[in-house]
Amino acid sequence: MKLLVTGGAGFIGSNFVHLILHEYPEWSVAVLDALTYAGNLENLDAWKDDPRYRFVKGSVTDASAVEPLVAECDAVVHFAAESHVDRSIMDPGIFLETNVRGTYVLLEAARKHNKRFHHVSTDEVFGSLAPDDAPFNEETLYDPRSPYSASKAASDHLVRAYYHTYGLPVTISNCSNNYGPYHFPEKLIPLAITNLMEGKSVPVYGDGLQVRDWLYVEDHCRAIDLILRNGGLGETYCIGGDGERENIWIVNELLRLLGKDESSIEHVKDRAGHDRRYAINFDKIRNELGWEPSVSLENGLAKTVAWFKENEAWWRCVKSGEYQAYYEKH
């Protein structure tokens, strides 16, 4: 199997590349990544001399870069996306360009060459849940609340349209919040870990009672692998971590793991349009494909803290660059 993995130098994409090249010695992976602020070739350093791995720097919006890579692969796994809600609020345009137009360019190439296409999406397309609402599932109506989630909703609809209109062999997955190795330190968990390791405070939006379902990234990658190989064409699968917790619980658990106290918490003004709760019902993928998360939230957080401790040079390099200037400014 020859895979094209878009956004493969990013957080989830690089973890997926590691999984595939470890698990399938006969498979090969071409990675297409624009290496914007969240893409990092060091994430894939382990494979740089492996003939099964190939890296191409380029944007998913560039048809001249996309088409030859799609033509020579057996399947496309599409991770590439602008993904941070805060950034989408400040600059929606790049989210529409990458997440909507980029998906269109890939779909056109896949249609031309009749390639298997898996689209990686998010539970944020479903909007927000009240405390007593049932978790999201594959039948939940879309209700995006931010430019980011709206752009991902649009790309999901495009993928489905190409299945229904052109018969393109597609699948879609909508996942909950990922965490784990190589996580870019602007999201809650890696930002909290690295700030605490630097002796800084941890910013917490509002009261910190926003609820998220947390999914260890390797569990997510194993689910995508299963969907790619065994998922029903035209089907959507929701992927959850069975780890629904308030943000403030996450921060307090990280304080405990790093030997800090609550004086390290800094409550800041809440994000505009901040969704209050996400939760995922993953019965479909469990019943049809036999997948369920294998890493509990408590164990996953401990593993993640250990990884950041062991890879301090990686995150210090990341935080010393463009991200740090962004964080201090905004």
The set of catalytic residues is: 123-124, 148
Instruction: Label the pairing between strands 244-246 and 211-216.
Output: antiparallel
Residue with tokens 């495009």: 158
* 121 and 155 Cβ atoms separated by less than 8 Å: yes
Sign of the torsion formed by the C-alpha atoms of 272, 276, 282 and 283:
negative
Whole-number Å distance between alpha carbons of 247 and 265:
12
Following DSSP, what letter does each residue of 51-94 receive, concatenated?
Answer: TTEEEEE--TT-HHHHHHHHHH-SEEEE------HHHHHH-HHH
Whole-number Å distance between alpha carbons of 123 and 100:
17
Whole-number Å distance between alpha carbons of 154 and 232:
21
C-alpha separations of 209 from 173, 205, 244 in Å: 27, 9, 12
Structure letter (DSSP) for residue 208: S
Six token digits for residue 151: 């752009």
Query: Kind and range of the H or E element at 271?
Result: none
Six token digits for residue 127: 């909007």
